[in-house]
């Protein structure tokens, strides 16, 4: 069936219009991108930790999963009780992980089930103003049968938000300075902001101590941990941020 000539003409005209529009969009896009400048801003600021995190591990074994879990719960209950006796508020003691899994002997060709293991991770958060209590916290955990995994200087969430705002503001200013310098070098003027992207805010806890044996019973003695945290003073640490800002060029 032949298409009516008027319909053919209409389709040809429409195709031409679409082609012109596409060429215009591509031309504008290329022109637009060719008339922008990108500034990559970085900033590093000093931050003072306001928390000390003490991380305990409670590892137990049993013939059944229930047996391993029961033994683990006994140690955790004693740990919490000991800490509260030292004046640590209950909301400062948090469970960060718990797991029960089968324990196999792989020394032979066919694995043999030996029993079950239960692992419980407990975090105690202290204000840096209470750093003198670290020794008591370590003793409370060790006497309960817990191991010490690591101890860190940290930032509370409110402090993270505060320093994040400062670092991102400084990084944004750095991006604009760089974009302005590039534009002036071209003999042009920096125009309006087209877009800005938050690339990262880097913050990691600052370690004070980490057990050399992270397995069952690692660091149970607590002597190394206490020695590593004697007379600690939270000094300034660094956090960083970066942004990417795109500006028009006039």
**Residue of higher predicted confidence among 100 and 204:** 100
Those residues with Cβ within 8 angstroms of residue 228's Cβ, 6 or more apart along the chain or in another chain: 151, 208, 209
Distance from C-alpha of 74 to C-alpha of 67, rounded to nearest angstrom:
11
Return the CATH fold of 51-154+206-230.
Alpha-Beta Plaits (3.30.70)
Q: What value does the mean pLDDT take over residues 211-226?
A: 62
Q: Which of 113-117, 198-202, 225-229 has the lowest mean pLDDT?
A: 225-229
For the chain, what is the mean pLDDT?
86
Residue pointed to by tokens 């840096």: 128
Coarse DSSP helix, strand, coil percentages of the chain, rounded to the nearest 5 percent: 40, 35, 20
pLDDT of residue 226: 81
pLDDT of residue 189: 95
**Residue of higher predicted confidence among 23 and 210:** 210
Q: Binning pLDDT at 50, 70 and 90, where does residue 20 land?
A: very low
Those residues with Cβ within 8 angstroms of residue 154's Cβ, 6 or more apart along the chain or in another chain: 49, 50, 51, 52, 53, 125, 205, 206
Distance from C-alpha of 134 to C-alpha of 184, rounded to nearest angstrom:
55
Residue 29 reports pLDDT greater than 90: no
pLDDT for 110-142, tens place per residue? 899 999 999 999 999 999 999 889 999 999 999
Residue 179 reports pLDDT greater than 90: yes
**Residue of higher predicted confidence among 22 and 62:** 62
Q: Where are the domains of the chain?
A: 51-154+206-230
**Residue of higher predicted confidence among 224 and 242:** 242
Distance from C-alpha of 217 to C-alpha of 60, rounded to nearest angstrom:
9
Question: What backbone torsions phi and psi does residue 241 show, to the nearest 5 degrees?
Answer: -145, 155
Q: Which residues, in sequence order, are bridge partners of residue 193?
A: 247
Name the pTM for this structure. Answer: 0.74
């Amino acid at each position: 069936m032949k298409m009516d000539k008027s319909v053919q003409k209409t389709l040809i005209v429409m195709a031409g219009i679409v082609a012109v529009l596409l060429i215009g969009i591509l031309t504008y896009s290329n022109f637009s991108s060719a008339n922008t400048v990108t500034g990559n801003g970085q900033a590093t600021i000093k931050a003072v930790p306001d928390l000390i995190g003490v991380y305990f591990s409670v590892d137990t074994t049993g013939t059944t999963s229930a047996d391993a879990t029961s033994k683990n719960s006994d140690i955790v209950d004693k740990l919490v009780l000991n800490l509260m006796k030292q004046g640590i508020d209950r909301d400062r003691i948090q469970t960060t992980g718990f797991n029960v899994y089968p324990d196999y002997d792989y020394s032979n060709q066919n694995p043999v089930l030996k029993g079950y293991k239960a692992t419980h991770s407990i975090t105690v958060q202290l204000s840096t103003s209470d750093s003198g209590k670290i020794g008591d916290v370590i003793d409370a955990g060790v006497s309960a049968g817990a191991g010490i995994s690591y101890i860190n200087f940290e930032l509370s969430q409110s402090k993270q938000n505060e320093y994040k705002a400062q670092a991102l503001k400084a990084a944004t200013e750095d991006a604009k300075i760089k974009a302005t310098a590039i534009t002036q070098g071209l003999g042009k003027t920096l125009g309006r902001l087209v877009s800005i992207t938050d690339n990262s805010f880097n913050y990691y806890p600052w370690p004070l101590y980490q057990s050399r044996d992270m397995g069952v019973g690692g660091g149970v003695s607590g002597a190394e941990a206490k020695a590593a945290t004697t007379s600690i003073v939270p000094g300034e640490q660094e956090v960083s941020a970066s942004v990417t800002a795109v500006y028009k060029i006039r």
